[in-house]
Amino acid sequence: MRFLVELLATLVIALALGLASAWYMVDAPRIGLGVGAWQAVPAISSATADPYTRARIARTGEIALGAGEGLVFFADGDDRGTAFDGACDYSVSGETPTARLWTLAAVDRDGRLPAPATGRISLTSREILRDLDGRFTVTVSASARQGNWLPVEPKGAFRLVLRLYDTPLALSPGNGMTMPQIERGACR
Amino acid sequence: MIRSLVWMIGAILLAGIVHIVAVIGVPRFAVVDPWREIGAIANDEVFTRLPRAGPGGKTLPGLDPAMTHSVCRFSLDRGPMRLRAEVADAYWSLSLYDRSGLWVWGVDNRAAEQKPIDILVATDVQVAQLRETLPDELEDVVIVDWPGREGFAIYKLLVPTKSQEAETEQILATAKCGVAQFR
């Protein structure tokens, strides 16, 4: 009797541990480079993709950037590690690694884009306003702001997605990488 | 004490097996892989413009909202596929993905300079046949040796400003995809 109970408990624990760890690894990219609040999505190519990446793509159906195409970073919180909240303003400032083009967008945790009144849902390096020394500041806020403004929904968590196109970083990530800083401003 | 330790080690080993089986099993039993998602919103072997990524509107997950995209799902059963498109001055890229949605090959506006896109996707056997009797018109065409028989292409163009949207959409509409015809 004792044997049966122990066997059953072991099986249940094994199943729960195995499935939970598999879910954790497949749910979001966990292996990759992190800089400050930013986490790089490892470059994806059919020749080198690991089983976790294969499973994630099969599950979400997402179209990832190719290895030679560029690199995607995402951030779920500011530099202090506090999760983003639509009730607060955030400033994303500094510079990005070298890239011919970059785009910045905000999505919710399921990857959906917000529906702001202005219709603007992303910023690109071509249209952004910069200082004389090439640095920029983007204000992420639910209400209109001067300068570079990226709207988000006024409630709930969100994720910033920075896509770098045609960057040498895609081939050798990590070398002298400078990512924009993310700081929290006023909250409502 | 020893007895529960043995059970614990057993549980961890078994959890490892469950983990591996689950991760490997997902692509096999997935219900929303990119291949099927594309089949649901686009016809095969023709470039279909995807709605701009945005709130609402049926499009594919993970697309950049700053770009406009067109997708062509293909199979090489009836012969090599030829993909052609005009290009823009601003950023563009054409990427080829395999049956499971993983990136295989791509070209962007730096690699191709400003020449129109003209590529031929073919299996090993088809490539060998082409090399034997290369039609004249294919001399300038880039030939991509394709792993497997199925895949899809995504052509994307940056929409630099709202006012250039119509112009960019026109260039996107020039993308053509179809079984290669040689004379």
Confidence (pTM): 0.87
B-contacting residues in A 155-174 (Cβ below 8 Å): 163, 165-166
The closest CB to that of A113, out of B23, B33, B65, belongs to: B65
Q: Which two three-digit tokens encode residue A62? A: 């997402």
Distances (CA, A) of A92 to A33, A155, B75: 19, 19, 44
Q: How confident is the model at residue A20 (pLDDT cuts 50, 70, 90)?
A: very high
Inter-residue contact B60 to B34 (CB < 8 Å): yes
Strand partners, B68: B157
**Torsion, CA B22, CA B24, CA B25, CA B26, rounded to 10:** 90
The mean pLDDT of A156-183, rounded to a whole number, is 82
pLDDT tens profile A21-64: 999 988 877 767 778 889 888 777 877 788 888 888 888 888 88
Q: Give me the pLDDT at residue B158, please.
A: 94
Give the contacts of B139 (CB within 8 A, at least 6 positions apart): none
Residue type, A132: L
Closest residue in B to A13 (Cα) is: B11
Indicate yes or no: CB of B91 within 8 angstroms of CB of A14: no
A-B contacts (CB, under 8 Å):
183
Mutation test of the interface with chain B: which of A19, A46, A100, choosing the one with the most B Cβ atoms within 10 A?
Answer: A46
Smallest Cα–Cα separation from B83: which of B69, B98, B101, B71?
B71
Q: What is the mean pLDDT of residues B118-141?
A: 85
Q: Helix count (H) and strand count (E) of chain A?
A: 2, 10
Cα–Cα separations (whole angstroms), residue A144 to A138, A150, B31? 12, 9, 40
**Are residues A18 and B104, on separate chains, in Cβ contact within 8 Å?**
no
| CB contact (8 A) between residue B15 and residue A57 | no
Residues from chain B contacting residue A123 (CB–CB below 8 Å): 66
Percent of chain A with pLDDT strictly greater than 70? 93
Question: Percent of chain B having pLDDT more than 70?
Answer: 96
- Rounded to the nearest angstrom, the minimum Cα separation between B2 and chain A is 13
Cα A132 to chain centroid distance, Å, stands at 28
| A11 in contact with chain B, both atoms CB, cutoff 8 A | yes
pLDDT at A119: 66
* Domains of chain A, residue spans: 34-187
> Per 3-state DSSP, what percentage of chain B is helix, strand, and coil (rounded to 5)?
30, 30, 40
Q: What local confidence, expressed as pLDDT, does residue B140 receive?
A: 81
pLDDT band at A172 (very low <50, low <70, confident <90, very high): low
Q: What is the pLDDT of residue A118?
A: 67
Confidence of residue A116 (pLDDT cuts 50, 70, 90): low
* Residue B117 confidence (pLDDT): 92
**In 10 A of CB B95, how many CB atoms?**
21
Task: Say what the pLDDT of residue A161 is.
Answer: 93
The CATH number for A34-187, chosen from 2.60.120.600, 2.40.420.20, 3.40.309.10, 2.40.50.100, is: 2.60.120.600
Of residues B111 and A150, more confidence is placed in A150
